[in-house]
Structure 1
Amino acid sequence: MLVLAILSVIGLVVLALAADHLVIGAGRLAGRLGVQPVVVGVVVIGFGTSAPELVVAATAAARGHTDLAAASLVGSNIVNMTLILGVGGLTAALAVRSSILRREAPLSLAAVTAFAVALTYGLGPVTGVLLTLAMVASVVMLLRFARADPRDALVAETTDHLGAAIRPRLVVEAARTIVGLGGTLLGAQLLVANVSELAIRAGVSSQVVGFTLVALGTSLPELVTSVQAQRRGDGDLVIGNLLGSNLVNSLVGGAVVAFSSGGVPSAVAPALVVAMVGISGISWGLLARGSRLSRRESVLLLVLYGALLPLIVSAGP
């Protein structure tokens, strides 16, 4: 079991590091190839930082561990809007200066709600198609909104964070992107395979593992991005990163699980599914109050995460 634990940790570290380079490399490569900054900002912020969650969910689902895949997505959504958002607002209040609260926030909440409904009433090919169509519609809407306001703070901050404006060397960034993608796939394989085996041998529910180790591990890119952005005072980037990640987790990740589930309701505890939606709504409400998240409210989000831990531990059989 010690070997399995060590391999799981190695997979987690490789996943986090590789995903970070995948995000940066893809953003800079897009900028070097002349892709519009609005596309880099809107698309990379969601898909890039959600790469670990999506790869882990796809890997787990392909191996037949659909409960682990679903639990990791639900857990990541909860971690993003409690632990990571709370940590991001501890050093200084998070100010929202763009139209995130009217754009990304409602879309993210709607996506999380749709994912929750799918988990509750049944996953299958039809659900997968509906979630995929919802994701396409969301991307189109976000790109249209962003093009309407090219000075949007979120797009500018994301592009600057990725370094897309510095015209890096094409070969270097292409290599970074390929290695980052390969590392993300390798890290996900190591993590899922060894964590699943470890859970089986230890008699721990795959749900508990998915909600804790896997969810927290796959959210590391969001955590790193949020801390770096907050140090620079880019509150929009912190919040947009997390809302975009939850949007992609719920719709793309949910579709992946749906296509692999066999058309049955998820075994994820209903209380945790409700908590995922409730926390998304609470975080939106806190951010909308004065367009900022204070340190006191950040502590509240951290307390919410801690309060959910006993429920998570009791979720498994």
Structure 2
Amino acid sequence: MNTVTSKIRSFNRFYTAHLDILSQHYLDSDYSLTEVRILYEISENKIITAQKLTEILNLDKGYVSRILKRFLKDDLIVKVSSSEDKRAFNIKLSDLGKELLSSLNAKVDEQIDHKIDKLNFFEKENLVNSMHAVKNLLSENKPLKSDITYRHEINPGDIGYIIYLHGFIYGNESNFSNEFEKYVIKTFYNFLENYSPEYDRIWMAEYNNKIVGCVAIQHQPENEAQLRWFLLDPSFRGLGIGKKLLTDAVDFCREKKFKNVFLLTTSMQDKALEMYKLAGFELNWSKEVQEWGKVFNEERYDLKLS
């Protein structure tokens, strides 16, 4: 069995057992989880058709029909004639249905609060972020540009996480050794030791309060600036994040009146090289090196600003 598949199945078994959703009667009610889920969808939509319920929940039409008949018998829902088609009916919760759902929601909240009560702030944050990641990775609706936020204030933990991202992404995509991460640590140490709020800046793109991209400008002698640590989580490529980060960095250099901005990179970073060239950077020199367990060309690109 595929390793990823087996791990997902293992998580599914843990999750269903942990939430106690295998019981025939959900939260000691007279209804199953599926039946309560249908009540929830009716409540969320205020008024809805049976056909729409089958589409939202991907359930058999006959199965949904039998559940709705039971709800009618138990006075949990009421049928309302459609204003568009007199032959069709919409469904909404009755007062009794609203009361039942409210009671079950309160029980769910209490159950979840009890399960996470022993977790500290960081563990709760990690749990929520992990669930959010699972939801987005398995959903057809991928992150949108509007979901991404940007900032340049450096918060505790930012630098360490960016170093981690460099080691993880370059280790997997470029197969760089651990020596690369050590190199990144040294460059950040230099950046922080000589940090000038006036002429140095690091921009971070975030999704769900998690850094997914970054770029920085570090001032250098003779009125030059160096563009550094341009990185983007592969899961977020194609949203224009890299372009915005790069544009903001170059605009900052123009604002601070640097005469030239340069960057050092490798011939292996194809996607980044394309963006550098589109932004106006030109190759200054290229030399073959053997470093971080690979053989490649180290390259310098410059963008003249004055």
TM over 0.5: no
**Which TM bucket (shorter chain)?**
under 0.3
Specify which structure has the higher proportion of strand. 2
| TM-score (norm: length of structure 2) | 0.23
Q: With CA pairs under 8 Å and 6+ residues apart, which has the higher RCO, 1 or 2? A: 1
The structure that is helix-richer by fraction is 1
